[in-house]
Amino acid sequence: MEKQDQLLMKKQNKNLVLDIIKNKSPISRMEISKITGMSPTSITRIVHELHEQGFVRETELVTSGVGRKATLLDVYDDVLYTIGVEIDRLIVKVGIVNYIGEIISFESMTRDVTENYSDTLEKLNNCIKELMTEKDIRTEKILGIAVGLPGFIDYKNGIVKVSDQLGWKNANLANDLKKHTGFEVIVDNELKMKIVAENFMGMAKDSLNAVLVGIGSGIGSALILNGEIYRGESNNAGEIGHTVIDPTGNVCSCGKIGCLATYISEAAILADSRKVKDVQSIDDVFDSYRNGESWAINILDRTSTYIALAISNILCLYNPEVIILSGNTIKKFPEIKEAIEKKCDLYIWEPLKEKVKIVYSMFTDRGVVLGAAIQAQNTLLDLE
């Protein structure tokens, strides 16, 4: 074996052992050896290294059947922290997350639609520093920051190519935020960050094939295929909002005609509603539905139809075990769930129906922040 390969394998083994201790603690060295197939000697060596690096500690002694004592292992939850950030049109959220994925500190700030890029970064930096001071977390303990936001993101370089919602174009966010804060920064689309949280502790926990669909002011999805985020060639895989469902339909902000978003996004629902009634916000439309106004019932019935069609198309393309629906429309208008489920039953191709679970995100408002922080850990942690 080449020296490079040996080093890589050593690193992978170490990561694997640490992951197992983190996820299955308290656990004995013997159990880790059984799970990994590595020799007890190797496990003892790796555990020793991880202990020296401050990740792993010995906890209680338990009696193992024949009267021998076995020492169990656990991780230090405060060995490091990551910072998860969500930037949306009208709100910025920040959370400090510990090594075992608990949000230990959280803050949300309003954002004015006219607020410019550098002001948002400045505010973000101040908020991060305040939260660190409040929890007495030293700079060396912070592994890095991850930001989730709506838009087309160059994930590798941390560049926001286009975010219509934020009004940003070709913004070098990873670099600029690093300059402000001094921390390493990664950037990704908000739904890709959120599905990491779903995969870590939400509705797609430990799932190998899952889809998260976001339905609200924007329409999109994120995919986990074979246990990993599926990005496609330019990180745009999952952008279902711009799949065309009617070539003779409505004009989309992207310039095409008949995109899915033009039927189910908040703006689309509002635009159609205003042809009938002078509604101020999406909440007014939902209220009109609840009052039994037929125009609102019709518009939202059509919305549920198109959502169900989108779900059935996603299932045919990716065959996931779970599809999670999230976003403001689902949150503010839970009545739509029943309609979506009924129509899914009608539209989904039989062979796919049996296996798939259609569920709703449990994260209310911290999913992106948590997922981002977990993703920062996954990406930035280098054990060597």
Interface residues toward Zn ion, by CB under 5 A: 242, 252, 254, 256, 259
168, 117 Cβ separation under 8 angstroms: yes
Q: Phi first, then psi: what are they for 326, rounded to 5°? A: -145, 180
- Which CB atom, from 254 or from 346, has the smaller least distance to Zn ion? 254
- Which CB atom, from 207 or from 217, has the smaller least distance to Zn ion? 217
Q: How far apart are CA 21 and CA 325, in angstroms?
A: 32
213, 173 Cβ separation under 8 angstroms: no
Write out the H or E segment, with its range, that includes residue 27.
strand 27-28
Tell me the Ramachandran region of residue 9: left when phi exceeds 0, alpha when psi lies from -120 to 50, beta otherwise: alpha
- Which CB atom, from 222 or from 259, has the smaller least distance to Zn ion? 259
- Which CB atom, from 224 or from 259, has the smaller least distance to Zn ion? 259
CA distance readout (Å), 107 to 80, 82, 128, 331: 19, 15, 9, 21
Residue 64 CB partners (closer than 8 Å, separation 6+): 28, 30, 70
187, 202 Cβ separation under 8 angstroms: no
- Which CB atom, from 101 or from 258, has the smaller least distance to Zn ion? 258
Q: What's the min distance (Å) between Cβ of 367 and Zn ion?
A: 25
Q: What's the min distance (Å) between Cβ of 256 and Zn ion?
A: 5
- Which CB atom, from 202 or from 238, has the smaller least distance to Zn ion? 238
Q: What's the min distance (Å) between Cβ of 269 and Zn ion?
A: 16
Residue 229 CB partners (closer than 8 Å, separation 6+): 192, 195, 196, 222, 223
- Which CB atom, from 63 or from 248, has the smaller least distance to Zn ion? 248
- Which CB atom, from 257 or from 359, has the smaller least distance to Zn ion? 257
159, 189 Cβ separation under 8 angstroms: no
Q: Beta-carbon neighbour count of residue 253 at 10 Å? A: 14
- Which CB atom, from 184 or from 239, has the smaller least distance to Zn ion? 239
Selection from 102, 101, 147, 114 nearest residue 128 by Cα: 147
Which spans in the chain are helix H? Answer: 3-24, 29-36, 40-52, 117-135, 173-181, 190-201, 261-264, 266-273, 282-290, 294-318, 328-332, 336-347, 350-353, 367-380
Q: Is the C-alpha dihedral spanning 314, 315, 319, 322 positive or negative?
A: positive
Q: What's the min distance (Å) between Cβ of 267 and Zn ion?
A: 12
